[in-house]
Amino acid sequence: MAYRYRGRGYGGHRGGYQRYDIKESDDVFPVKRAYAYSGPAPHLGTPSVIGNYSIDGNREFGYDRSMLQFLQRKYLPETKMNVHLDLNKGHQDTVEYKGNSQESFENFLQWVFSNQDDLKSDKTSSRLSADVLCMRGLLKKIMKTPYNPREPWTILVTGFKGTLYMVNWKPYSEDKEENEVPKNVSGAKFEQYMKAVGYNRMPDGRVGTAKMWTHGIAKTQLNLQRRSSGASLLQTVLFNC
């Protein structure tokens, strides 16, 4: 038994959760009402960082932390301060980054491919010592589903040599006008004010949403439950953060 959310007036209902029967299926993620998940939380191991990689403003990949940024010390005062930040400054020179979850996942896979020998528990085996590979945001999306039932999602999953590779899927959209200012330019400018490209170094003043990132690769363990038998199963998860 599962639930789905219907808005007020839908099919004669007054709104809220409606109960319905669904058949077991590999492409359906049944969700119960949030109170059904009360009680002790399943085991979630403390993640450990096992590697890093960087993406520069030209979308070039590097096996290092060269794009690591730091919070500006000037914005960590011991007393109250008045802050005036112009988030529209330089927006006409903005170069928008049109990346997506697929590109991020491909970068993640590039790091995994280059480090696959170190990711195997048995050097004589071709299998990675991970049951699942995914992005951190995808784990978050799945975990909050019972508490955010009106947010649909589609996750693509494939198995390869005993490991499940999972990526979030969104339909491609071309609804941006030619001269439209990118919606995320203000957030990018705020980040530019708040962060430096090196320890205690000021930003160069240029604006752009072509993000520069340093990503961490983390490993943790999740205590999952088989839907068919109800048995617990400890799974090793490798994720990008």
Q: Which residues of the chain have pLDDT under 70?
A: 1-29, 75, 90-101, 171-185, 196-211, 224-234
Q: Is 205 exposed, middle or buried (0-12, 13-18, 19+ CB in 10 A)?
A: exposed
pLDDT score at 23:
55
Q: What is the Cα–Cα distance from 55 to 80, expressed in whole angstroms?
A: 35
CA 128 to each of CA 6, 44, 111, 120, 215: distance values in angstroms, whole numbers, following the listed order: 42, 20, 13, 5, 20
Calculate ∠ Cα 138-144-148, nearest 5°.
Answer: 120
The per-type count for the chain, helices as H runs and strands as E runs, is 3, 11
For residue 4, what pLDDT is reported? 44
pLDDT in tens, 113-158: 999 988 887 878 888 988 999 998 898 888 888 888 788 888 889 9
Q: Angle at CA 121, nearest 5°, toward 115 and 126?
A: 70
Map residue 115 onto helix, strand or coil.
coil
What is the C-alpha to C-alpha distance for residues 145 and 157, in angstroms, rounded to an integer? 18
pLDDT at 215: 84
Length of the chain: 241
Residue 211: per-residue pLDDT: 64
Alpha-carbon distances, residue 62 vs 52, 54, 96 (angstroms): 9, 5, 21
Q: Which pLDDT score, from 0 to 100, does residue 143 have?
A: 85
User: Can you tell me the distance from the alpha carbon of 208 to that of 221, in angstroms, rounded to the nearest whole number?
Assistant: 37
